[in-house]
Amino acid sequence: MKYRNLLNLVILLCSIPLANADIYKEWSSPVNNKESQKVLIYGSIATGLLVASRDSTIEKFQDYAQQHGLMSEDMASFGDIMGQTVPNILYIAGNYYVDNKKSEARMKLMAKATMYAGVTTMILKRIVNQRRPNSKNRHSFPSGHTTTAFAFASVVAKEHEWYWGASAYSLATLVALSRIHDNAHYIHDVVFGAAIGTAFGLSLSSLNDDASENISLVPTAGGAYFNYKYSFN
């Protein structure tokens, strides 16, 4: 919980200069971006198939995870910590201290992807109201740890070399499996959480790219002028 409180503070500080941002456009970006649409569609189909065959897939996998374990307890503890937005916060803080335009954009992108994905998951938890496998509460679907972990991974994959992206997705997968190992989530919880986080990371990265392409500085005989293109499509 302390990590999430710290992230909320970081996001608030990062969001002050963005008070006039188009929140609706950003929040709805996963359904308007082709790459993110595919992730959500495939994630929804996989989730639906799992739920439809619950007894032979979800329940059996959960039983196996509890009887045999999916990883060591140390790895599960590490996955739980990493799922509490720790890599997201470190990425934001690291780019803040680099202090250049590209790092500032990446810092804001990670904050937005984490915030939008996290809030969306919180809302869905209240709507679906599914009991956790450990029966602690009814906030099982989708997995919040998994959502923010995959939001982190998708941003890293978009912004950096492939090996950084592969490492980030591997970490996010560890987080997802640790939630099942700890009996806090079912497999369909983490599948759909991964889809939400990935979709927001990809779509918001695309919005950042579009904004950069629409801004240009054009030299003229008397100096230069700033050009900004806006599309209503």
Cβ atoms of 117 and 54 closer than 8 Å: no
- The separation between CA 166 and the C-alpha centre of its own chain, rounded to angstroms, equals 15
What is the greatest pairwise CA distance in the chain? 75
Look up tokens 């649409």; give the residue. Answer: 37
Distances (CA, A) of 122 to 21, 151, 232: 22, 14, 31
Which pLDDT does position 140 carry in this prediction?
A: 97
pLDDT tens for residues 188-227?
999 999 999 999 999 999 987 765 444 333 444 444 333 4
Instruction: Walk along the chain (233 residues) and give the pLDDT tens digit of each residue.
Output: 445 555 554 554 455 444 445 788 899 999 999 999 999 999 999 999 999 999 999 999 999 999 999 999 999 999 999 999 999 999 999 999 887 889 999 999 999 999 999 999 999 999 999 999 999 999 999 999 999 999 999 999 999 999 999 999 999 999 999 999 999 999 999 999 999 999 999 999 998 776 544 433 344 444 433 343 433 33
Element (H, E) at 15: helix 2-15
pLDDT (0 to 100) of residue 24: 86
pLDDT digits (tens, 9 = 90+) for 56-67: 999 999 999 999
